[in-house]
Amino acid sequence: MAKGSVGPWHWRNTMKPVRFFIFDGRAGFFLVLFIVHARLSTLAMLVVVFGYFYILERKGLSFAAALRATRVWLIGPNRPAWIFTRKRKLLDTGST
């Protein structure tokens, strides 16, 4: 290949997660929150969130899977698929 040309390998890294140093890029929301609202409490929240997701990532969960696991842990095992108001109701249209 000629120098400077793009070969077939330019797609290699397109599905890799975005990283901010060693953290997932989506956790950068809390960094932006800290920059906008610089307080000791937001710094503590930033450290806790980054630490929590770092530990879960070291255990083998991606950021998205860690969010799902946290949601399941908070909500519990009984999670109906639809709330009762959105479930389909039995309907008799009268046609045979």
For 15-62, write each residue's pLDDT tens digit: 777 787 877 788 888 888 889 999 999 999 999 988 888 888 888 888
- 46 vs 76, more confident: 46
What is the predicted pLDDT for the residue at 44?
94
Of 10, 12, 15, nearest to 62 by C-alpha is 15
Q: Are strands 23-24 and 19-20 parallel, antiparallel or unpaired?
A: antiparallel
What is the predicted pLDDT for the residue at 61?
84
- 87 pLDDT band, cuts 50/70/90, is low
* Number of domains composing the chain: 1
Asked whether residue 83 is assigned to any structural domain, the reply reads no
Domain that holds residue 71: 18-75
Tell which phi-psi region holds residue 94, choosing left (phi > 0), alpha (psi between -120 and 50) or beta.
Answer: left
Asked whether residue 94 is assigned to any structural domain, the reply reads no
Longest Cα separation, the chain:
74
Angle subtended by helix axes 40-58 and 63-75, to nearest 10? 100
Asked whether residue 90 is assigned to any structural domain, the reply reads no
| 70 has pLDDT over 80 | yes
Asked whether residue 95 is assigned to any structural domain, the reply reads no
